[in-house]
Amino acid sequence: MEIKKLGFGLMRLPRLADNKIDIEQSKKMVDMFIESGFNYFDTAWVYEGSEDAARKILVERYPRDSYFLTSKLAFWDKNITCQDDCRKQFEESLKRTNAQYFDYYLIHCLEPQFYEAADKLDVWSLVKEFKEQGKIKHYGFSFHGKPDELDNLLNKHPDIEFVQLQINYADWNNPRVESRKNYEVAKKHNKPVIIMEPVKGGRLSDPNPKVKEVFDSYKEKRSYSSWAIRFAASLDGVMTVLSGMSNIEQMTDNTSYMKDYNGLSDEEKEIVDRARIAHESLPITGCTGCNYCAKVCPQEIPISKYFSNLDGAMQFGIDESKKERFNKQFEKSAKPDDCLECGACEGICPQHLPIREYLKKVKELF
C-alpha cells in the first residue's frame, strides 16, 4: 500500500465547547479523507485526547491493514525517569489507540536540550526492540534543531529509517528553523521526509495581506493553505505532508487539490518564492500555537494566545480599543508580569523563540 502525499495530523482535531474532541465531526473527516484515497494518520502520546480519538474515529471503524498510523514517544516528559517508563508510555499509546501496532513510530521532538536524555534512556535501542517485537514497522524521529545537529544524529544513528521535519515556504530560509538546510541534510543521508507544520500552525492559511496579494495575482483562485501544502509536497523524497485539519471545510479543501496532485509548475514556484519574500519582510513572532510552552509554564501563562495578539499588533498596529478588548479577553489569565523568567518555555519551544523577550513586548504594547 502506497502512502499518499497528504497525511491527516490528529493534533488539532475539532473540539466542543467543553474542549473535548468532537468525535462525530472527526469521524466524518476521517471518512472524507479515506474516501478521497488518503491513508496516513499521525497522533502522539502528548497530544491531549488524540490517541483515544484515533481509536474511536479510525481504528474501531476501518480494517487495520487499510491505513497507516503513526505515534510518538515523548521521552522528555517529566514523568520519564528510566527506560521502563518509556516502555510504559509506548504500551499506553497502543492501549489508547488499540491499534495492535504502529506503522511508523517517532522519537518525539528531538532537540539539543534532549540529546543527553535520549542517550541516557537509550531510546535508540528501545525503538529497535519495538520493531523486533513487531509492535512497530518503522522508526524515526521528529526534529526541530539545526542542520549540523541533524547531520551528527544521522551519522551516529544511520539505522534511522525516516525523519519528520518542519518545512514550509515561510521557514525555508528562516535562520531559527532552517527548513531548507535540514531538508538537504535528510536528502544527503537518503532519509525519506515526513513534513510537519506545512501551514505553520494555520498561520499560512490566512496570511498577511501582503502575502495574500501575491497569491491572488495568480490566474487561478486557490486557497492559501493549498499553496503552502503543495509547496511542501513538491519536494523530492517527501513521504507525506501532514495537515492538522480542524474542520470539515479544511478537509474538503485539502483533499480537493491533493487528490490528483502532480507538483508545482514553474509559474507556481515563482509565485511561492514571491510570497516567501513578502512573508520574510513582516514583523512576526513565528509562533505556531503548539502550546508546548504552556504545558511547562509554572505560572500557566497562555503564551501562544498572547503571541497571536502580538503578531496582529506588530503587523497592523494597535489602538486603545484593541488594548481594551485584549485586557478584557485575558482578564482572568496569568499576565506577562507573572513570568518567573525560568526559561522552561524556551527549552521546549520547537520554534526556538525568545519567549521571555516577547512576553515583555506583549506587556509593552498592551
Does 275 reside within a domain? yes
Beta carbons of 286 and 353 less than 8 angstroms apart? yes
pLDDT digits (tens, 9 = 90+) for 48-73: 999 999 999 999 999 999 999 999 99
Same domain, residue pair 350 and 247: no
Q: Are 295 and 224 in contact (CB under 8 A)?
A: no
In this predicted model, which residue has the larger pLDDT, 326 or 83?
83
What is the percent of the chain with per-residue pLDDT over 90, rounded to a whole number?
75
Do 237 and 184 belong to one domain? yes
Residue 287 belongs to some domain of the structure:
no
Same-domain check for residues 249 and 313: no
User: pLDDT confidence of 132, banded at 50, 70, 90?
Assistant: very high
pLDDT of residue 365: 85
**What is the structure's pLDDT at 325?**
87
Domain presence at residue 337 = yes
Range of 323's domain? Answer: 292-365
DSSP 195-233: EE-TTTTTGGGS--HHHHHHHHTSSS---HHHHHHHHHH
**Where is the domain boundary, 247, 280, 313?**
280
231 and 308 fall within a common domain: no
The answer to whether residue 280 scores a pLDDT higher than 90 is no
Quick one: cell of 63? 480494517
Q: Are residues 195 and 322 part of one domain?
A: no
Report yes or no on 286 lying in a domain: no
Confidence of residue 104 (pLDDT cuts 50, 70, 90): very high
| pLDDT for residue 351 | 84
Which domain-ending residue is among 235, 258, 280? 280
Q: Answer whether residue 285 is part of any domain.
A: no
Residue 23 is predicted with a pLDDT of 98
| Residue 192 and residue 305 in one domain | no
Q: Please, which residues have CB within 8 angstroms of residue 24's CB and are 6 or more apart in sequence?
A: none
The band of 124, judged by pLDDT with boundaries at 50, 70 and 90, is very high
C-alpha cell at 299: 505560572
The pLDDT value given to residue 321: 85
DSSP 171-197: GSS-TTT-HHHHHHHHHHTT--EEEE-
Band of pLDDT at residue 295, cut at 50, 70 and 90: confident
pLDDT at position 235 is: 97
- Whether residue 285 contacts residue 307, with contact meaning beta carbons closer than 8 Å, is answered with yes
Locate 310 and state its grid cell.
Answer: 502580538
Per-residue pLDDT, 112? 85
| Residues 204-224: tens digit of each pLDDT | 999 989 999 999 999 999 999
Looking at residues 163-170, what average pLDDT do you find?
96
Q: Is pLDDT above 80 for 315? A: no
